[in-house]
Structure 1
Amino acid sequence: MTNPIGVHALVWVGDTSPSALSEAVARTKTAGYDLLELSLHDAKQLDTAAARAELQAAGIGVACSRGLAFDADVSSTDPAVVDRGAQLLVDSLTTTRELGATILTGALYSALGKYSAPLSDAGRANVVRVLRELAAEAAGQGMTLGLEICNRYETHVINTAHDALRLADDIGADNVVIHLDTYHMNIEEDDLVRPVYEVGDRLGYVHIGENHRGYLGSGHLDFGAFFHALADIRYTGPITFESFSSAVVSPGLSSDLAVWRNLWSDGADLAAHARSFIAGQLAASRPR
């Protein structure tokens, strides 16, 4: 298999404190994953030097993700709010680099939450300007930005592959890639196949999640078709399992993500199942 298989740290722990990070790294290694994704929602707790050393010692790659907040939202029309969001992104890029990661992805373009009105032209212009500047800084450090496509209840900036491609075109930077997530695709796209073909070689990161964010294969998503589409476009980038349960996720982030129930309580069993499921899908979708 050429695709690194990753797992989101929130499968294991609810924050990025030193003890939680150590636990996430150890569990990721034990479960046989290649990559650990860290959410930077509480990056102030993160000891980047220690985390990098632990990840390297375990032989595990790392990717970073985040969404913004309503008081630090680059899609706002309030200059002060946009400036706070831009600084948060710059700080997050620095943290990502210090961890040894080369990709910062997620909802880098807005707050993570339900908006009450469509995106304004002025707000979109702010997104393009800020991300163009961030992409230039990232390129100077050999890093990539991912635009994760999220559903309408979590952002009003990009909800479909078409939206994301148009935004990436307007940013106009080669180091801005598209991030597909099957959980969000299930809500917004017509199917799980056409968006993969539409994005094509601009796909840079993938989240695998069931329609209810529980055990893979326990919902109704057509993962077989999705993985065959990935094989068709010869996608070789990371495929990261993402699942949330209120048993693990911190209360604040649970509210942001509307995680109101325990879809699982045993992260180790969940992650072992997901690792096997993804590997099986990759093997089954390989051209014969």
Structure 2
Amino acid sequence: MTPDLDVACQLSVLVSDPQSPRLPESLDALAASGYRRVVLPPFDAGAVDMPRLRALLADRGLAPIAMAIQLPDADVAAEDPATRAAGAALLRQSLALAVALGADQLNGVPYGLFGPPRGITGTAAFARSAAAVGRIADEAQEQGVAMVFEVLNRYETSAVNTARRAMDYVDASGSAHLGIHLDTFHMAIEESDIADAVRLALPRLRYLELGQSGRGALSGGAIDIPGIVRDALDAGYQGRWGVEAFSRSVLAPEGADGLSIWRDVYDDGVELARDAMRVVRAGWATSTVGRRASRMSRITST
């Protein structure tokens, strides 16, 4: 039987950006594979036909998830007040984009700069960032959007690397609405036990993203993706799931460079997305909820 799981796929698995001429066929493939949502990479709203993009998604029954970022001159963690104000303005711009798309979730890295850290994130910067993001998370909630921040590995930020640190950030934000996004690719680097990390973040975990060690197919790599799905479901996780993979042949050169994707891990994003859904469903099938649903299905069919 087909599990009732709310799974999103990162658009960059299949095409480089929302302007790709292959966007319609890519969305068709995701919908046919059972995905409910598409995570859109950061993009310039002025360069994209927003009504068309929204219609393409809606026509296929796919809901968008938008992303927020910060920039060197727009960073809520910065010491300079003008840079912090610009960072908050950029987050509100991302929120407005999410609303315009009809998205009810805003993912990304709203708490600071993405990229090789230049040093440790100090206590003051952590507090400044959390307070600003917490305020905007409350504003987002009022507009029907959940703000969810991603926990990254040590090579991409020094601010929030673990589930424990993410829970500290939520506490520092003062917001009852700010959610956590965990990603198995990053967790495999930073966490001693992924299942424990999921359980720790569970009260605020809103998005659990599945990414393999080599950034390629979920069915091949060092991370036990089906086991993580099983353990999360058994722990009581009922939130959304994500699928993420990156290949240099799919991404734009600047995007590949920014993510340190130096090789062609895969060539066919559609097949990767299909394979990922099979892996997610395999994990569900071995979980308590999956086994119970299968038993009930057999009983009702007899």
- Could you tell me the TM-score, scaled by structure 2's length? 0.89
The one-letter code of the counterpart of 2:128 is N
Residues 270-279 or 22-31, more deviating:
22-31
* 2:112 counterpart of 1:110: yes
Deviation at 1:59, TM superposition (A): 0.8
Deviation at 1:67, TM superposition (A): 3.1
- Residue in 2 aligned with 1:244? 246
Which structure would you say has the larger Rg?
2
Equivalent runs, 1:1-288 vs 2, <5 Å: 1-17=3-19, 19=21, 21-287=23-289, 288=292
* Residues 161 and 195, structure 1, Cα contact 8 Å, conserved in 2: yes
* Residues 181 and 209, structure 1, Cα contact 8 Å, conserved in 2: yes
1:23 to 1:122, Cα distance in 2 relative to 1, 3 A: farther
Cα distance in 1, alignment partners of residues 24 and 73 from structure 2 = 31
The one-letter code of the counterpart of 2:134 is R
The one-letter code of the counterpart of 2:32 is T
Q: SS of 1:6's equivalent?
A: strand
The one-letter code of the counterpart of 1:259 is I
Deviation at 1:10, TM superposition (A): 0.1
Cα distance in 1, alignment partners of residues 257 and 71 from structure 2 = 13
Q: SS of 2:129's equivalent?
A: helix
Percent identical: 33
Cα distance in 2, alignment partners of residues 18 and 230 from structure 1 = 35
* Residues 6 and 238, structure 1, Cα contact 8 Å, conserved in 2: yes
1:149 to 1:228, Cα distance in 2 relative to 1, 3 A: same
Q: SS of 2:262's equivalent?
A: coil
Cα distance in 1, alignment partners of residues 188 and 86 from structure 2 = 32
1:45 to 1:282, Cα distance in 2 relative to 1, 3 A: farther
* Residues 31 and 268, structure 1, Cα contact 8 Å, conserved in 2: no
Deviation at 1:83, TM superposition (A): 2.3
Stretches of structure 2 lacking an aligned partner (at least 5 in a row): 293-302
Stretches of structure 1 lacking an aligned partner (at least 5 in a row): none
Deviation at 1:82, TM superposition (A): 2.0
Query: What is the number of residues matched between the two proteins?
Result: 288
Cα distance in 1, alignment partners of residues 202 and 107 from structure 2 = 18
